[in-house]
Chains A and B, each alone.
Chain A
C-alpha cells in the first residue's frame, strides 16, 4: 500500500481502468488514485508467471493505450471487456479471469454491447426474419446457414466464408473472435464453410444464389469535383454530394425499378452503402445487376479522358431528366456552387471552361471573368454571378450547335451526379460491411439514413462507440435489453431501422413464406387426389 500514482485520463477513455484494478469505480471525473502494490498482488495471485516488469510495462503503456479509441469487444477468460490496443500484451493485460476483478456494470454493458452488436448487424440481410420464422414449416431451414459472413480481426486478419445456423451462433462467434468489422456476403447454394468438400466433386455446385442488390458510393471518387477535402476526409461542405446520391438513386430504385425495401447506411467514414432487399432484387443475376449499375452510370471519365460526362441525343432519358430537374440542378446552384467555390479562382473556372466544346464561348467567358476579378463588385457571390453568365451565354438562342445544347447539363452532371463503385453492385459475391458495425478507424457506428430526410443527416454527429459506452454508463439501470440502447444516441437510428425498414420487410417475407407454403400444400393435396 505505498506510493499512490496520479493518472489523469480523458473522461472518454476511463472505462478499462477499474476493470484492471478491480475497483468499483464508475464514472470518474478526471483522476483517481491507485496503488501499484494492490495491482501487483492481484496479478501475481492470478497469473503467477506475470512479474512486475509487465506491470511497469503496462504502466508505461497506459497513456498511449488510452489514446486509442475503443473499438472492439472481446471475450477472454469469461470476461467481456473492451479491447483497446492492438498488441497481444495489451490484450493479455485486459483479460484477467473473472474472479480477479469486480465485474462492473460497464462490463455487463459491454457484454450487452457485444450482444447488441451481434444482434444488430445482420437484420438487413433477411436473416432475422428467417430465424424469426424458422419454426414456420414453409421456411427454408438452411437459408441462414448458407449465408457468408466475413470477419476482419485486429491486425487485418480476414476470416472469410464463416457461416452460422442461427443468430445465437453468430453472436457467440462475434464475442469470441471480436472482429473489428463484419461483412455480409451472399447466400450460397451450400454451406460456405463446407465449400471445399463440395469443390472435390466433379461439378462444383458452390455458387452464390441470392444476394441483396448493393451499392457503394465513396467520397474519394469525387475528388476531382470537391475542393474542401480529399481522400478519406469528409466535411459538411462536401457531404451534400452524398445526399444527392441518396436522393437520385433512391428515387430511381423505388419509382423506376419498383423496389420497396431499400436501406441506406452511413459507411462510418466517407460514404454510404445501399441495400436493396426485395425478393426480386435478391435473386437478380450478375448480368442484371450490371445492367442496373449501368443504368445509373453517367460519369464515364477516367484519369486519361478529358470529358467526364457526355450526354448525347436530342433529349435526356426521363430518369436523367427528372434527376436533373428535381435534385441535381437545385443542389448545384444553391449548394455546391457556393459551397465549393466552383468558379471563384482561375484554376477552378478553367476546369469548367474546358468542358465547353466551343472555344469562342469559352474565351469570351474567360475574358469577362478575368476582368471581373479586378473589379469585384462583391455584392453578390462571385460564383453565382459567373454561373448565370455562363448559363445565359450557352442557352441564349444564337448558339444552337449540337454540342452546346447539353453543355450546362453536362457541367451540372459532372459536379453532382452520383458515382457508384460499379464492381460492388455487379457481382453477387461482393462483400459489404454490415449495418451497425463500428468503423475501425473513426469509431463511428454505421447507422441507417432516412432517405426522406437525408438532408438532415450529419456524418460528424454520428455516435461513436466510446460515446455510446459512456451513455450506457450514465444510464446505470438495465431493466431490459431492448430499452438499453434505445436510450442512447443510437436510439433514433435503431427506431428508424426497425420501423421504416425491418418491419415492412419482415411482413413481406412472412407473407412470401406463407404464400409459397400454401401453394406447396395445395400442390401436394392435388397430387394426392385420384
Chain B
C-alpha cells in the first residue's frame, strides 16, 4: 500500500537512523511516504489497538498514574516489538497512521482514539529520560523560554507555596520553570498545580509532560479532522476494495455496547419498577430512585442520570413521563411539571430540540461528574463519604465482610471495582467482565435473577410431579408436566440450559424417567415445529455430555432424523 501525501517524512527517516540509541517518540506530523505491505498495515494496526485497548481498560479501572505508567510500558513492550530493531520506529508510525484512518470516521471514534493516543503519548513521554524529553520538546518547537533567574527570584516564594501545596519540595535556584500561557496547560490549571500570574502559568520541569501532551493532543485532534475529510472525499472511494473493508471492520469491536436502545429482554413496565429498583439497580441509580421517592424532586444532574438510565432499562416515553409526573407533581404540582420538566424528558428521548436520542451515561461519565449542593447524582463510591457509603451499602443488603472489600476498593479509588464487588456480593455470582455501565449492571443482574427464579420454579414443579407420581393422579401429573414444559421451553430460549439439564437429572435420579422422556419428547417436537434445529441439537448435546440415560439420546436422535438434514453430525 502507499499512502500518498504531498509532505514527505524526511524528518523521521533521517532522525530514526541516528536516534536508534535514544528511544524517542515520533510526533506523527505527516504520513509516511514509503510503501507498506497490506498484511503489515493490518497486523501493526491490530497490535497498536491492543495497546490502546489496554490503556482504556486500565483507565476505566481507575488506575493511578504510576500504575498506568507500568501498564503502558508492558503493553508497549509486548505488542509493539519487531524482530528487526530498525523497524520498530516504522511500526510505530505505520500503526498510528493506520489507526488514524480507522478512527477518523465518526465523532465517537475520534474521541476515543484521541484520548487513548494522548494517554499513550503521555506515559511514553514520562518514561523517557530527561535528554530524550528535551529532544521531543525541541521537536515541538515550543516558543517558551525558561524563566530567568531575576524573575525566578521575584516569584520564588509563591512557587514554593505551590510546590508545597502539591506535596513537592520547594524549588531550588537551579530549577527550571517555563512561563507559558495558562491555556496551554489546562490540566495543571484545573488541579491548581501551577502558579498563575497575569495569564501565565509557571510550569516546572517535572510538569512539562502536561504541556507536551496537551500540544500533542490538540495537534492530533486537528489532523484527525483533516484525515476524516480526506477519507470521506477521496480515500474511501479509491480504496473501496482494499483498505476500506479493513478499516471499517477494525473499529467495531472496541466501543462497547450502546445502551441507548433497550434490550429486548429488559422491558420494564411502570408497575414493577419499584421492585426492580430494589433488586437490580446499581447503587448510583438506586440512590437517585430512593431520593426521588423521598423528596419527589431531583436536580438536573440527577434527572439526567436516572432518566437516561431508565430509558436504557426499557421504560418508554409514556411510562417515563408518567413515572416522573407521579413523583414531581407531589412536590411542584402538575402544571409546573408539564411546563418545566416534561420538556426535558421528551428531550432525552429525542423528541424535542436537537432531537438526538441520548444514550445513558456510562460509569466513566458518572464518576467524572461533579455533584454540588443538593445534588444526588454521581458515583456513590466516589462521591459519598465513607459513612454514607457504608450506610447505603448495608441498606442494599451487602454483608459486613464484602462491605470491607468494597469500601477498601472505593478508598483506593477503584470505583468500578467497588461496584463490581457489590454486584458479586448481592448476586452471589462472579462478574468477570466488571461493571462499566449502569445499564450493564442492570441487565446482568436481571439475567442472573431471572435464571434463579426460573430454576426455583422448575424445582418446585419437579418436586410436585415427583410427589404426585405414586398417587397416580395421572391428570394432575399431566398438567404439571405441561406447566413444566412451558417453563423449560421459556428457560431454554432464554439461554438457561443448566436448568433444563438439572431438571432432567432430577427425573432420572428419582426413577421418573417416564416424565423425563415425555419432556424431552415434547421439547423436541416443539422445537421441531419451530424449526429450531440449533436448539434441538444442543439439547441432544447436553443429553450426550451429561450422564443421562441413553433413552434420551436415542429419542433426540430419532427426532433429529425426522429433520432430514444432511450435514448434521453429532460430535
Q: Indicate if the CB atoms of B373 and A314 lie closer than 8 Å.
A: no
Q: Does A315 contact B (CB under 8 A)?
A: yes
Within 8 A of B (CB), among A287-335: 287-288, 290-292, 294-295, 297, 299-307, 313-321
Please indicate the chain A residues that have their CB under 8 angstroms from the CB of B186 in the complex.
287-288, 290-291
B510 CB-CB contact with A under 8 Å: no
From A156, A220, A258, A303, contact of B200 by CB (8 A)? A258
Query: Using Cβ atoms and an 8 Å threshold, which residues of chain A touch B383?
Result: 302, 304-305
Assess whether B199 is in contact with A280, with CB atoms less than 8 Å apart.
yes
Q: A156-B339, A288-B186, A304-B376 are in contact. List 9 more A-B contacts (CB 8 A).
A: A258-B199, A259-B199, A290-B190, A291-B190, A297-B370, A302-B372, A304-B385, A304-B392, A314-B164
- Are B372 and A419 neighbours in the complex by a CB distance under 8 Å? yes
User: Contact at B161–A288, with CB atoms within 8 Å?
Assistant: no
A-B contact pairs, 8 of them (CB 8 A): A258-B199, A291-B187, A292-B189, A301-B372, A302-B373, A303-B376, A304-B392, A318-B195
Q: Knowing A305-B388, A313-B165 touch, does A257 contact B190 (C-beta < 8 A)?
A: no
Number of interface residues, chain A, beta carbon within 8 A:
46
B90 to chain A, nearest CB (A): 31
Q: Taking the nearest CB of chain A, how far is it from the CB of B369, in angstroms?
A: 10
Q: Are A319 and B198 in contact (CB under 8 A)?
A: no
**Residues A284 and B183 in contact, CB atoms below 8 Å apart:** yes
Closest to B165 in A: A313
Total A-B pairs in contact (CB under 8 Å)?
Answer: 118
- Report if B129 contacts A (CB, 8 A): no
Query: Would you call A171 an interface residue if the criterion is a C-beta within 8 Å of the partner chain's C-beta atoms?
Result: no
Q: Which of B376-394 contact A (CB under 8 A)?
A: 376, 378, 380, 383-385, 387-388, 392
Question: Cβ of A202 and Cβ of B190 under 8 Å apart?
Answer: no
Query: Which one of A223, A305, A319 has the highest number of Cβ atoms from chain B below 10 Å of its Cβ?
Result: A305
- Residues in B whose Cβ lies below 8 Å from that of A303: 371, 373-376
* B111 contacts chain A at the CB level, 8 A cutoff: no
A317: chain B residues at CB < 8 Å are 161-162, 165, 192
Interface-centre pick from B167, B187, B191, B371 (highest chain A CB count, 10 A):
B371
A346 beta carbon closer than 8 Å to chain B: no
Smallest Cβ-Cβ distance to B228: which chain A residue: A203
In the bound complex, CA of A222 to CA of B164 (Å): 30
CB of B434, distance to nearest CB on chain A (Å):
24
Closest chain B residue, CB of each to CB of A160: B353
Instruction: Find the A residue at minimum CB distance from B340.
Output: A156
Beta-carbon contacts of A402-438 to B below 8 Å, as 1s and 0s? 0000000000000000010110000000000000000
CA A288 to CA B196, docked complex, whole Å:
14
Closest residue of B by beta carbon distance from A225: B373
Which among A203, A259, A313, A317 has the highest number of chain B CB atoms within 10 Å?
A317
- How many Å from the CB of A32 to the closest CB on chain B? 37
The 8 A CB mask of A209-247 against B (1 = contact, 0 = none) is 000000000001111100000000000000000000000
Q: Provided the pairs A288-B186, A294-B191 are in contact, do residues A318 and B371 lie with their beta carbons within 8 angstroms?
A: no
Interface size class for chain B?
35 or more
CA distance A257 to B186 in the complex (A): 12
**CA–CA, A315 to B200, complex, Å?**
21
| Residue numbers in B under 8 Å from A421 (CB-CB) | 372
A294-B378 CB under 8 A given contacts A156-B339, A305-B385, A306-B385: no
Distance in angstroms between the alpha carbons of A299 and B160 in the assembled complex: 24
> Are the CB atoms of B380 and A304 closer together than 8 Å?
yes
Nearest-neighbour CB distance to chain B for A440, whole angstroms, equals 13
Interface status of B182 (Cβ within 8 A of chain A): yes
Q: Say if the beta carbon of B538 comes within 8 Å of chain A.
A: no
B161: chain A residues at CB < 8 Å are 315-318, 321
Q: In whole angstroms, how far apart are the Cα atoms of A226 and B168 in the complex? A: 37
Min CB distance A184 to B, Å, is: 18
Is the CB of A255 closer than 8 A to any CB of chain B? yes
Residue A256 lies at the interface, judged by CB distance under 8 Å to chain B: yes
A287 contacts which chain B residues (CB < 8 A)? 186
Residues from chain A with Cβ under 8 Å of B160 in the complex: 315
Is B373 a contact partner of A256 (Cβ separation < 8 A)?
no
Contact with A along B548-571 (1 / 0, CB 8 A): 000000000000000000000000
List chain A residues, Cβ under 8 A from B232.
202-203
B189 contacts A294, CB within 8 Å?
yes
Contacts of B378 in A (CB 8 A): 302
Contact B165 A316 (CB under 8 A): yes
Closest A residue to B160 by beta carbon equals A315
B174-200 near A? 1/0 per residue, CB < 8 Å: 000000001100110111100111111
Within 8 A of B (CB), among A251-286: 255-259, 280, 284-285
- The reply on B86 being an interface residue by CB < 8 A is no
B219 interface residue (CB < 8 Å to A): no
Tell me which of B161, B162, B167, B375 has the highest count of chain A C-beta atoms within 10 A of its own C-beta: B161
Specify which chain B residues have a CB less than 8 angstroms from the CB of A299 in the assembled complex. 372-373
Q: Is B158 an interface residue (CB 8 A)?
A: yes
Give the distance to chain A from B210, nearest Cβ to Cβ, in Å: 11
Query: In the assembled complex, how far is the CB of residue A518 from the closest CB belonging to chain B, in whole angstroms?
Result: 23
Nearest Cβ in chain B — how far from A468, in angstroms? 29
Bound form: Cα–Cα A307–B165 in Å: 19
- Complex formed: what's the CA distance from A224 to B162 in Å? 30
Q: Which residues of B contact A320 (CB under 8 A)?
A: 192
Given the interface contacts A302-B375, A307-B385, does A256 sit within 8 Å of B190 by beta carbon? Answer: no
* Chain A residues closer than 8 Å to B229, beta-carbon distance: 203
A223–B388 CA distance with the chains assembled, in angstroms:
21
Give the chain B neighbours of A297 by CB distance below 8 A: 370
Contact between A315 and B164 (Cβ–Cβ < 8 Å)? yes
| Docked-complex contact A295 and B192, CB < 8 angstroms | yes
Among B199, B200, B340, B388, max chain A CB count under 10 A is at B199
Query: B377 — nearest CB in chain A belongs to which residue?
Result: A302
- Assembly CA distance A202 to B167 (angstroms): 50
User: Does A256 contact B196, Cβ atoms closer than 8 Å?
Assistant: yes
B224 to chain A, nearest CB (A): 12
Q: How far is the CA of A203 from the CA of B230 in the complex (A)?
A: 12
Task: Find chain B residues with CB under 8 A from A202 CB.
Answer: 232
CB pair A295–B190 under 8 Å, yes or no, is yes
Q: Does B43 contact A (CB under 8 A)?
A: no
Are the CB atoms of A315 and B165 closer together than 8 Å?
yes
With A221-B373, A223-B374 as contacts: A256 and B197 at CB distance below 8 Å: yes
CA distance A259 to B182 in the complex (A): 12
Say if the beta carbon of B166 comes within 8 Å of chain A.
yes
| Alpha-carbon distance between A421 and B160 when the two chains are bound, in angstroms | 31
What is the CB-to-nearest-CB distance from B168 to chain A, in angstroms, rounded to a whole number?
A: 9
Residues of B within 8 A of A301 (CB): 372-373
- Assembly CA distance A256 to B200 (angstroms): 8
B residues less than 8 Å from A307 (CB atoms): 385
Q: Are A319 and B373 in contact (CB under 8 A)?
A: no
Q: How far is the CA of A422 from the CA of B383 in the complex (A)?
A: 16
Tell me which of A160, A224, A295, A305 contacts B196 (CB under 8 A). Answer: A295
In the assembled complex, the Cα of A302 lies from the Cα of B372 at a distance in Å of: 5
| B353 nearest CB neighbor, chain A only | A160
- List chain A residues, Cβ under 8 A from B353: 160
* Cα distance, A257 to B192, chains bound together (Å): 13
A275 to chain B, nearest CB (A): 18
In this complex, what residue of A is CB-closest to B166?
Answer: A313
